[in-house]
Amino acid sequence: MAQQLPSAPFPILTSVSEVREWRAARQAAGEQVGFVPTMGALHDGHLSLVRASLLANEATVISIFVNPAQFAPHEDLATYPRTIEADIAALASLTIPVEGSSSPRTVSALFLPPISALYPSGIDTDVSKQRGTFLEVKGLQEVMEGVSRPGFFRGVATVVIKLFNIIQPTKAYFGQKDIQQALLLRRMLTDLHVPAPLASNLVIIPTYRDAASELALSSRNAYLRAEERPWATVLIDALHKAQQVWDEQKTKGAVVVKDVLEAARASVRAVEKKAQEEGKGVEVRLIYVALNDPDELWDLEKGESAMVPRGKGAVLSGAVMLGRTRLIDNLVFDYPLN
């Protein structure tokens, strides 16, 4: 790569052949490999995934790759935060003591591929101009985030299967923050009978939240202007209101889908109004709030029944625009993620 990289206490691999060689050595050493795919701009949420991998695997590899195929032409590919030096420093600082061993575990390698390694014939964000192999996960890709972002999960599934095939991890780690991504990728692993990682080894780590506000950490939070930050909890506050309705109705039996959703929507609407009145130019806008089946991601609001029966869980998710920044969050009810 033309770019000069900071020195790191772990190898920085940039080609597929380097990764294959590194992986073969791990195999020969009998080591399990944990893998955390990222787009960089690492924050404590990402680092919690890396920590989980360090705890469970002898070797941990992280990838940083801002994947053009998951951005629409009008989206923020060019301006997506790129903080490679800080990312490497953050990864280098991670040290996990291992019970029964005198040497702590640290990151084993960073995979930092150029675009040409993952898209040898190039990649256009305009789907109609793309050539080559792409994956879709029909049904699961069209709901929730997929409604506002057609093509997004196609881009995600395509790059992740490539990364999996290159790294062949024993386990792979994803954040609950992007719950649809994690469940859709697990379905992809099941459908395609991918051997590494097995679907049962896709691990979903709870969303990392700011301790005081419960705001979910996100690389896109960096886009928020100072005056917008106090309003950033609008979505998680709304989801918590809906959770109260879920919990109350669940203790009595089935849950009425529209009651849960209306609690969240009313909460966002109230904040939208408040921002208009006192926000000094801050704009809050609800994109969607949805309740979905955790296995098939069916939209429960469009389902045949208006109720979620006792014993069935659900994913409550939503997106809001805060000024020009798109924030997403979710809560999962009564469903074990791992």
Kindly state the smallest distance separating residue 109's Cβ from its own copies, in Å: 17
CB closer to its own copies out of 153 and 246: 153
CB closer to its own copies out of 162 and 326: 162
121-160 footprint of its own copies as x/- string (CB under 8 A): ---------xxxxxxxxxxx----------------x---
Kindly state the smallest distance separating residue 117's Cβ from its own copies, in Å: 9
Whether residue 317 contacts residue 328, with contact meaning beta carbons closer than 8 Å, is answered with: yes
Kindly state the smallest distance separating residue 191's Cβ from its own copies, in Å: 4
Contacting range for its own copies; rule: CB under 8 A; set: 92-100, 192-200, 274-282, 330-338: 192-200
Question: Could you give the CA distance from residue 114 to residue 121 in angstroms, rounded to a whole number?
Answer: 12
- Which are the catalytic amino acids? 46
158-187 footprint of its own copies as x/- string (CB under 8 A): ---xx--xx-x------------------x
The bridge status of strand 59-64 relative to strand 33-38 is parallel
Which residues on adjacent β-strands are paired with residue 61?
A: 35, 109
CB closer to its own copies out of 52 and 159: 159
Q: What sign does the dihedral 207-211-213-217 (CA atoms) show?
A: negative
Q: Mapping DSSP to helix (H, G, I), strand (E, B) and coil, where does residue 17 land? A: helix
How many residues bind its own copies, per CB under 8 A? 29
Kindly state the smallest distance separating residue 15's Cβ from its own copies, in Å: 11
Q: Which two tokens stand for residue 2?
A: 């033309």
Q: Which two tokens stand for residue 121?
A: 């014939």
Kindly state the smallest distance separating residue 252's Cβ from its own copies, in Å: 33
- Cβ count within 10 A of residue 106: 16
Q: Which of residues 11-50 bind its own copies (CB under 8 A)?
A: 16, 20
Kindly state the smallest distance separating residue 192's Cβ from its own copies, in Å: 6
CB closer to its own copies out of 134 and 285: 134
Q: Which positions ≥6 away from 25 have C-beta within 8 Å? A: none
Q: Which positions ≥6 away from 53 have C-beta within 8 Å? A: 34, 35, 36, 60, 171, 173
User: Does 190 sit near its own copies (CB under 8 A)?
Assistant: yes
Contacting range for its own copies; rule: CB under 8 A; set: 188-196, 273-281, 284-292, 313-321: 188-196
Question: Could you give the CA distance from residue 249 to residue 234 in angstroms, rounded to a whole number?
Answer: 23
Q: Which of residues 293-312 bind its own copies (CB under 8 A)?
A: 296
Give the position of tokens 């790129």.
Answer: 82
Long-range contacts of 22-26 (CB under 8 A, 24+ apart): 22/61, 22/109, 23/167, 23/168, 26/58, 26/59, 26/108
Question: Could you give the CA distance from residue 89 to residue 107 in angstroms, rounded to a whole number?
Answer: 11
CB closer to its own copies out of 16 and 72: 16
The footprint of its own copies (CB under 8 A) covers 16, 20, 120, 130-140, 157, 161-162, 165-166, 168, 187-188, 190-195, 296
